[in-house]
Structure formats: structure tokens, C-alpha cells
Amino acid sequence: MNDSVTRPPIKQARAAKKREQILAATEDLLSEVPPSEVTTRMVAERAGIPIGSVYRYFANVEGLLHSLFESFNERTVEAVRALPVTPSNWRHDLRRILAIVKDAHDEHPAYGALMGHVGRLEDESSAINSVLSDRILKVAENLDEEAAANIAGMVITIVEAVERRYESLPPDQRGTAFEEGEKALEAYLALYLDP
């Protein structure tokens, strides 16, 4: 095999690593300053790279913040997608999904700040809606795809409200936000998922 065939993957791996380094530095920086105060210079300094390297991967700070937020959401969607569906015990599945969302907030303290700054991205909401719609269809076979998508949309709205509440509370009071959110979601979903 010649060099021209083997080199691109190495360069791509290096580029992916550099991009992740920039995202990690941004997440670390967000533990000290709000998203509205982040600058590319601050990110470059935190990452230990020239400022031009930041611009090589991200057009501006907003693009960088959006990418970080998308990465948090992608991981959450993939974790939910990986959970097996247990139609006979959807309440158990609901608790597991909410635990994934809560863990994402706990693992990434910047998630809440980014959520408020960036908001849900349309394509991310679509990915989340698709995963939830599929799960709902597997539990409630009497629903059509449109109804499942509408129900999933309402679930997302409730979860987003729970997430905002969670982030607004002091850390020692946050547990109640997800407990109360679970009760609200369970009552709503019971209308459609209980026989």
C-alpha cells in the first residue's frame, strides 16, 4: 500500500483528536465562565493551541458551543437508543431514560448552561423524537407513527422543562426535579401506554 492511501486516516485521526481537545477545553472553561463570556482566545489558551487552530475546526464561538452541545445530545440519544425496550414494563424504561438524562447533566456540568444558551437544535430534537417515537410504537401497537411522534414531542417538552428546573436548583435539591418529572411523565404516558 502506498503512503497516499495510508496517510488520510492518520490525518483524520489527528484532526478528530484536535477537535475533541478543543471541545474538552471549552467544556472545562464553562465550569468557570458562562457561555456568553467564552472567547476563542480563552479556548485556545485553555487547550494550549494557537487560536488559528480553533478557527480551523469552528467558524466562531457560537459554532463551537453548538458543537459541544450537539456532542452532549448525541451521547444521550445513543445511550437511550442502546436501551432494550420492555413493552410490559415501560415505567422501568422511563426511569432508565431519565437516569441517562440526569447522568448527562451530572457528568457534564456545562450541559445546563449550554442548554440555556444554545437551546435545542432542530436536528437533535428530531433525533431524540425519532428514538422516543420508535420506543412508544413498540409499547403501544395501537398508535400510528404520527401519534407516537406527537407523544414523543410532548415527552421531550416535559423533559426539557425538568432539565431547566434541575439546572436552576442548588445541587442538594436537584434530585426532586427528576423525581417529580418522572411522576408527570408517567401520568402522561399512562394515558397512551397502559392497556
The C-alpha torsion from 140 through 141 and 145 to 151, rounded to 10°, is -10
Each residue's pLDDT tens digit, 35-62:
999 999 999 999 999 999 999 999 999 9
118 and 140, same domain (yes or no): yes
72 and 164, same domain (yes or no): yes
Please say if the pLDDT value at position 90 is more than 60: yes
Please identify, among 18, 36, 58, the residue that sits at the C-terminal boundary of a domain: 58
Which one-letter DSSP state was computed for residue 195? -
pTM above 0.85, yes or no: no
The CATH number of the domain holding residue 11 is 1.10.10.60
Residue 9: per-residue pLDDT: 58
Give a three-class secondary structure readout of 139-168: HCCCCCHHHHHHHHHHHHHHHHHHHHHHHH
Distance, in Å, from the CA atom of 30 to the CA atom of 36, rounded to the nearest integer, reads 10
22 and 98, same domain (yes or no): no
Please identify, among 58, 80, 98, the residue that sits at the C-terminal boundary of a domain: 58
The C-alpha torsion from 139 through 99 and 187 to 168, rounded to 10°, is -140
Q: Which helix (H) or strand (E) holds 72?
A: helix 61-82
What integer is the mean pLDDT of 154-177?
88
* Average pLDDT of the chain to the nearest whole number: 87
Please say if the pLDDT value at position 165 is more than 80: yes
35 and 83, same domain (yes or no): no
Give percent of the chain above pLDDT 70. Answer: 91
